[in-house]
Amino acid sequence: MSPAASGNDAAPQAPADVPVTVSIRRRVDPARFDEATHWVQTGMDLANEYPGFLGSGWVRAHAGSAHWHMLYKFKDAASLEAWEHSIARTSWLLEGEGLVLESHVVRRTGIEGWFDDSQVNAGPSALVQPPRWKQAVAIGLGFFPLNVIFTYLVTGVDPHWNDIPTVLRILLTTFVMAPMMTYVVMPFITRRLRPWLQKAPKKKA
């Protein structure tokens, strides 16, 4: 089976202007781990050369595990499409024929993508998406102080800020806070909350 193939792939159409994270679970031939490791790293190096590439990572559940979990992110759908339809990636996938026995691909965009950093770096236990309520708490912890700081700054710099029409004021606030949340605040929050976000739920007796 081709490394890119899967009967369970989920690849919904992503919005054009938001980062897209691709999550891949692959089952690798246990007899060819060394070859597969080199192949995976080669793919990451190739993707890194393409415009819009934001990073990647991969983990195994334990030494010798045949199931490998990988993530990579591009800044928008167009950048991801350029990589996925490139000759370099096509050639790379062909080189992996026989190394990967099956794969499952999922794409995520928007808010859920904020939590990918903790998933890539926290190890095997991070392969499960944090529950929605934890995501909501993390987003609130990032949004509240950023909103307070922004409000104090703009009212201090411009005493007439509150005289601006409400809709325009909210629009300006959104233009500033959305990129700050996406590229600065949420990556910081998810790194700091990583142990809590990735803590396994208690099993019921």
Q: Does 89 map to a domain?
A: yes
| Cα 99 to Cα 34: distance, rounded to the nearest angstrom | 10
pLDDT at 5 over 50: no
Rounded mean pLDDT of the chain?
A: 76
Q: Does 3 map to a domain?
A: no
Residue finishing a domain among 70, 97, 122: 122
- Mean pLDDT confidence for 163-187: 84
Q: Does 205 map to a domain?
A: no
CATH of residue 84: 3.30.70.100
Percentage of residues in the chain with pLDDT exceeding 90?
Answer: 3
Percentage of residues in the chain with pLDDT exceeding 70?
Answer: 76
Burial class of residue 161, CB neighbours in 10 A (0-12, 13-18, 19+): middle
Same domain, 83 and 113: yes
Domain count of the chain? 2
Which of 175, 202, 4, 35 lies closest to 101, judged by CA?
4
Condensed to tens digits (0 to 9), the pLDDT of residues 88-118 reads 999 988 888 888 877 777 776 655 556 654 4
Domain that holds residue 141: 132-197
Same domain, 88 and 181: no
Of all helices (H) and strands (E), which one includes residue 106?
strand 100-109
- Mean pLDDT confidence for 74-91: 89
